[in-house]
Amino acid sequence: MAANPSFDIVSKVDRQEVDNALRQAEKELGTRFDFRGTGAEISWSGEETISLQAETEERVRAALDVFKEKLIKRNISLKSLDAGDPRSSGKVFKIDAKVIQGIDQDKAKAISKKIRDEGPKGVQAQIQGDQLRVTGKKKDDLQAVITLLKGEDFGVALQFNNYR
């Protein structure tokens, strides 16, 4: 007897795509007329953190908007980016933006509860670390769960993979 059909719900971001978006934003900040002489910079400051800085609060917010634009063009959800508020650091303003990977326990429980309450009967969700495994008797039920979850906003970018 074959195993029941299943799929995984994950929240992962392709780091190479984020790096490409960062490089494009960096190039645009260097060439755009409205950023000349404002000290606008964007760079990695750690494994999952991006640092933006400029001489004024307005310019650092504009630099963040340029970066978000580049992420959208590369099909990366803005839910994967947690940008803080601008803070003054000496003569410059800085924003730290964290790239979010994985589904935390509270959100995983909310997703699991949603599947249990509104999903088709016989479909089960198991939390496995920072992802969920959904199993059911029929593939149609699993597709109904995917449709249900796409219609909800859990505050994280969800991807569905390993569909078997």
Give the whole-angstrom CA distance, residue 52 versus residue 133: 36
Q: What is the pTM (predicted TM-score) of this model? A: 0.85
Give the whole-angstrom CA distance, residue 52 versus residue 30: 13
Half-sphere exposure of 2 (CA within 13 A, CB side): 8
pLDDT, residue 92, reads: 92
pLDDT, residue 2, reads: 55
DSSP-derived secondary structure letter, 44: E
Q: Give the angle subtended at the CA of 154 by the CAs of 150 and 130, to the nearest 5°.
A: 100
Chosen CATH of 15-99 out of 3.40.1260.20, 3.30.70.990, 3.30.70.20, 3.90.580.10: 3.30.70.990
86 neighbors 94 (Cβ within 8 angstroms): yes
Annotation: CATH topology of 6-12+103-161? Alpha-Beta Plaits (3.30.70)
* CA distances from residue 121 to 101, 113, 137 in whole angstroms, order as listed: 30, 13, 9
Note down pLDDT in tens along the chain; length 164 residues. 457 899 998 999 999 999 999 999 999 999 999 998 888 999 999 889 999 999 999 999 999 999 999 999 999 999 999 999 999 988 999 999 999 998 989 999 999 999 999 988 889 999 998 899 999 998 888 899 999 998 888 888 888 898 88
pLDDT, residue 1, reads: 44
Domain chopping of the chain, boundaries? 6-12+103-161, 15-99
Of 40, 5, 41, nearest to 145 by C-alpha is 5
Tokens representing 113 are: 């509860």
pLDDT, residue 157, reads: 87
Tokens representing 75 are: 């099909």
Whether 6-12+103-161 and 15-99 share one fold: the answer is: yes
* Coil vs helix vs strand at 93: strand
